[in-house]
Amino acid sequence: MQNDHTSVLTLGTVQLGMEYGIGNTIGKPKRNQALNMLRYAFAKGINSFDTAPNYGSSERIIGKFISELKKQKSKQPQIMTKVPKVSLPEHSSDSEVTHLVKESLYQSMKRLNVSQIDVCFMHDPHNMTSHSNKVMNSFIKVKEEGLVKSIGVSVYTPEEVRKFLSIDCFDTIQVPVNLFDQRLIQLGLLDQLKETGVNIYARSIYLQGLLLLHVDQVPQNLSSAQPYLKKLHEMSEKSGYTVAELALLFVRDLKQIDQVVVGSETIEQLKNNVRMIEKPKLPDHLLQELSFQFQRIPENVRNPVLWNGAIEYEGK
């Protein structure tokens, strides 16, 4: 369940540390711009930040912000980070795997300027069962030792959600869900996750920015997305909601979702996300129509991994 004191909107910070997203024409913000975005978000009540070691300079920028808060003796945000893929040989010992996981966490804590990680995710869901469960056991161990408060997994597919459900040791999960990727809703997997009591973070709500593109901005390799984007823009005009509002509020209003991870490249985008997250619930008839119209999106559109071999990062 969501912590009562944690904001519904979690700031995804991949965009603060590296160039990211299909619609990103700006690049990553400068260091001072990134810090100003963290300051603005925190001042507006966004008290949860999502990052990872492989998000460029993201952890270091958050660490700089944390040091500012410490000097001010201010309350600190919830920090979520990840342990990158553990790719040691499968026959590695418990101590070797645990050492690697701990070393990753120590390096993250140093960059973040914190003595404990609030939420730590496996960045590679394969590690849930790899190395004869030694990675999973190392996550349990670092939680028991107090290095992290909560442990979870960042997943990509329904199969990985099913695997997660078969393991009873995690506190939280990050899942991709958006207007064009409703698989976890349709398969009843979000309901199953909710029944377990784990905290559910929705990410990729703008599908790496694809949902925010105009039809004529779509790259050639994603031309099959054009009819669906055209329909989305038609629904936007008809309903009076912007495309961004439809995309964000559709996910926020899912009863199974506790928190929504959303990134921004500019402070203007951030301000807009903060404004939208406070809007009233979408009308039921509109939610139903959004579910119906986009229930059969081709895999090569809804899965960023298939976009010319792109790697999916969380947060937008």
pLDDT tens digits, one per residue of 203-215: 999 998 999 999 9
134 pLDDT above the threshold of 60: yes
Region 123-139: mean pLDDT is 97
Sequence letter at residue 267: I
Region 218-229: mean pLDDT is 94
Find out whether 53 and 13 touch, Cβ atoms under 8 Å: no
pLDDT score for 68: 97
pLDDT tens digits, one per residue of 77-129: 999 999 999 999 999 999 999 999 999 999 999 999 999 999 999 999 999 99
pLDDT score for 316: 44
Name the one residue in this structure whose structure tokens are 């893929």.
85
pLDDT classification of 311: cutoffs 50, 70, 90: very low
| Range with lowest mean pLDDT among 11-25, 50-64, 140-154, 302-316 | 302-316
pLDDT classification of 2: cutoffs 50, 70, 90: very low
Region 145-156: mean pLDDT is 97
pLDDT tens digits, one per residue of 257-291: 999 999 998 999 999 999 999 999 999 999 999 99
Q: What residues pair up with 49 in beta bridges, in sequence order?
A: 11, 79
SS (H, E, C) 164-216: HHCCCCCCEEEEECECCECHHHHCCHHHHHHHHCCEEEEECCCCCCHHHCCHH
pLDDT score for 22: 53
Q: Which of 98, 64, 63, 105 is nearest to 84 (CA)?
A: 105
- Mean pLDDT value across the chain: 93
pLDDT classification of 17: cutoffs 50, 70, 90: confident
pLDDT classification of 20: cutoffs 50, 70, 90: low
Cα distances (angstroms) measured from residue 11 to each of 16, 108, 215, 243, 256: 10, 18, 27, 20, 19
Region 234-247: mean pLDDT is 98
What is the value of pTM for the model shown?
0.93
Cα distances (angstroms) measured from residue 124 to each of 50, 87, 88, 163: 16, 10, 13, 13
Higher confidence at residue 8 or residue 29?
Answer: 8
Q: What percent of the chain has pLDDT over 70?
A: 93
pLDDT classification of 27: cutoffs 50, 70, 90: low
CA–CA separation, 79 vs 11, rounded Å?
10
Region 143-162: mean pLDDT is 97
